Amino acid sequence: MSVNLTINSYFDEIKKKKILGTKCKDCGRIHLPPRVICDQCKSTNLELIELAGEGTLQAYSVVYVPTSKMIAAGFGRENPNCVGIVKLSEGPMMSAEIHGFDLSKPENIKIGTTVKSKFIERGEDVILAFEA
């Protein structure tokens, strides 16, 4: 069975607070965002799955000079935000905002910390972030 899902419908599911990926029925690889062809074995025999939204922090950066969208959301030199790479329990890795750390002491942020998904409503957008 092939999967019929566009990147826009992936983000529509994020707005419903669901994280959808695909699982290859031939080799078992899990993809995020969903794919129509497995990047490991080139199979199109994929199925949609909902990911649990749990993982571990692999890398991070504290951002003092954010994008204009983040400045509009209230972030900046005096109120930095954290972005990082999360390895989900199902295997895929993704970049996302990371919440729940004291950013005045970034040396205390530990790689390997368990994080859980958190959906943030910001204007008309729903952002998939992670919380320590």
Q: Which residue among 5, 19, 20, 24 contacts Zn ion (CB under 5 A)?
A: 24
- What is the spatial distance between Cα 68 and Cα 103, in angstroms, rounded to a whole number? 20
Distance CA 109, CA 123 (A): 28
Give the nearest distance from C-beta 91 to Zn ion in angstroms: 12
- Shortest CB 57 distance to Zn ion, Å: 27
Beta bridge partners of 50: 20
**DSSP single-letter state for residue 6:** -
Residue 19 or residue 38: which is nearer to Zn ion going by CB?
38
Q: Which residues contact 24 (CB under 8 A, 6 or more apart)?
A: 30, 31, 38, 40, 41, 43, 45, 46
Binding residue (CB under 5 A) for Zn ion from 6, 9, 11, 27? 27
Residue whose pair of structure tokens reads 């930095």 in the numeric block: 80
Per CB under 5 A, which of residues 38..57 are in contact with Zn ion? 38, 40-41, 43
Decide whether 27 or 52 has the Cβ nearer to Zn ion.
Answer: 27
Residue 3 CB, nearest approach to Zn ion (Å)? 12
Q: Which residues are near Zn ion by CB under 5 A? A: 24, 26-27, 29, 38, 40-41, 43
